[in-house]
Amino acid sequence: MLPIWPVRKEDGTFFNLTNEHPLAGIIYRDINLKSNQILGNWYGEASITKDLTFRTEIGTNLLFNNDFHYRDGRITDHNRTVSSTVSGQRSSWNWKNILNYTKTFGSHSLDILAATEAQSSGSRTNFVFGDTFLNSTLTRPQDAAVINASGSETRYSFQSLISRINYDFNKKYLLSASLRADGSSRFGVENRWGYFPAVSLGWIVSDESFFGPMASTLNFFKVRASYGVVGNSEIGDYSSFSTYNTSIYNGNTGIVLGNIGDPRLGWELTSQLNLGITWEIFNGRISGEFDYYEKVTTDLLLPFPVSLMTGVSSVTKNIGELSNKGFDFMVNGLIIAKPNFTWETNITLNHNKNLVVSLGDELIKDGLSSSAGLGSTSIFPGHPVGVIEGVAWGGVDVESGEDTYYDLEGNLYLYSEVIEQL
């Protein structure tokens, strides 16, 4: 609606009455969104010995929503009154048990942790849509002439075993190592557990005696290195299962194949190596960090295209390898520090090289385009993730002035010739 248009005509009716009319949208539309959330957290802690403690934590989250949306036929494109209701609930809980041992003896400090964690989350949603009402007093979808209803329900759970050791000597030689095992209901029965080790080393060089001559200028200098493996489980809750969906054909409800399961579907794994330094000069007025990293992701969770004769277009599989290499550089400077004026400057520089190493299957060795179910993303080996897949432009034809394009065989066509072939 243009700002120069009047809200109403001279006879009092709305001018250019559409769904975008600001005042009519308020009068002829009713939106009511209600939600209630209940959060709870409880914990208990006990000291078994002076150095050994036990802690248990339980958390819950309950969310209930009830939404209503009504639109009068005067502001709908098809001139029919419609309304809908969405009611749902989401529940989740988390339970942790943590055993922690800390001990300092002489110049040595030790911190050992062992823990278990279990979590579960689920949701249920019901949707009712009503189309065409006999009079304006009827607004709920169940009073409509045409009623459509649907619903969904989903749930997933995780179980984890966690261990970690932190050690330092003289507060300048640092070691941390951890190992965790995570099981997810989202993965196949043959491959639900993933194992993720990590280790990091640190050396505060500026605390060494040989560093003394430089200490007046370079106040702090630390060298660090780390390596670890993490997992990704962000897929559908039932991607590893064969499922069926309901479908309506010619007024009759039937069952169609929804997904082809894979009992070997497992975690996507990312291993990362980090090498870095941290430094401070001029009593901390200027500080900075530099990190170099190499990250490799294997067993990518991707949609694998299959023949439509199976009833589906793709299935989720562990395929391919992805590489990321780069560095992060950061400098912080306290330029001016006065009681009534402070000037701080932060400079960051980042570089990352992303590369699809392979897709690990002969059928898709040339890549997966966005049409394979990746949304707007395309993946091609030897290229970064998300490259644009398009037609090669051949320049402008001198005689006609039209753009020209190459096909896969290298033949050159005018734009008009391409359109004719579509």
Q: Are 101 and 230 in the same domain?
A: yes
Is there a contact between 322 and 354 (Cβ–Cβ < 8 Å)?
A: yes
Q: Are 374 and 403 in the same domain?
A: no
Q: Is residue 6 part of a domain?
A: no
CATH number of the domain encompassing residue 308? 2.40.170.20
Q: Are 286 and 240 in the same domain?
A: yes
The per-residue DSSP string of 331-365 comes to EEEEEEEETTEEEEEEEEEEEEEEEEEE---GGGT
Q: Are 220 and 104 in the same domain?
A: yes
- The helix/strand/coil state of 22 is helix
Q: Are 375 and 408 in the same domain?
A: no
Residue type (1 letter), 56:
T
Q: What is the dihedral of CA 364, 368, 369, 374, to 10 degrees?
A: 140
Query: How many structural domains does the chain have?
Result: 2
Q: Are 324 and 385 in the same domain?
A: yes
Is there a contact between 164 and 113 (Cβ–Cβ < 8 Å)?
A: yes
Q: Are 361 and 401 in the same domain?
A: no
Q: Are 236 and 303 in the same domain?
A: yes
Q: Are 285 and 422 in the same domain?
A: no
pLDDT for position 98? 98
pTM of the complete model: 0.80
Is there a contact between 413 and 404 (Cβ–Cβ < 8 Å)?
A: yes
Q: Is residue 18 part of a domain?
A: no
Q: Is residue 274 part of a domain?
A: yes
pLDDT for position 373? 46
Q: Is residue 145 part of a domain?
A: yes
Tokens representing 165 are 């050791």
CA distance 95 to 42: 10
CA distance 60 to 43: 12
Nearest to 80 by CA among 149, 129, 15: 129
Task: Please give the helix or strand (H or E) that residue 415 lies within, else none.
Answer: helix 415-421
Domain holding 401, by residue range, is 391-422
Tokens representing 191 are 């491959």
Residues of the chain with pLDDT under 70: 1, 361-366, 368-377, 422
Is there a contact between 206 and 222 (Cβ–Cβ < 8 Å)?
A: yes
Q: Is residue 57 part of a domain?
A: yes
Q: Is residue 10 part of a domain?
A: no
Q: Which residues pair with 390 in a beta bridge?
A: none
Integer CA distances (angstroms), 12 to 8, 9, 26, 60, in order: 6, 5, 16, 54
Contacts of 377 (CB under 8 A, 6+ apart): 370, 385, 386
Is there a contact between 122 and 153 (Cβ–Cβ < 8 Å)?
A: yes
pLDDT for position 383? 86
Q: Is residue 23 part of a domain?
A: no
Q: Are 383 and 411 in the same domain?
A: no
Q: Are 54 and 158 in the same domain?
A: yes
Q: Is residue 406 part of a domain?
A: yes
Tokens representing 113 are 């942790």
pLDDT for position 160? 97
Q: Are 291 and 420 in the same domain?
A: no
Q: Which residues pair with 55 in a beta bridge?
A: 45, 98
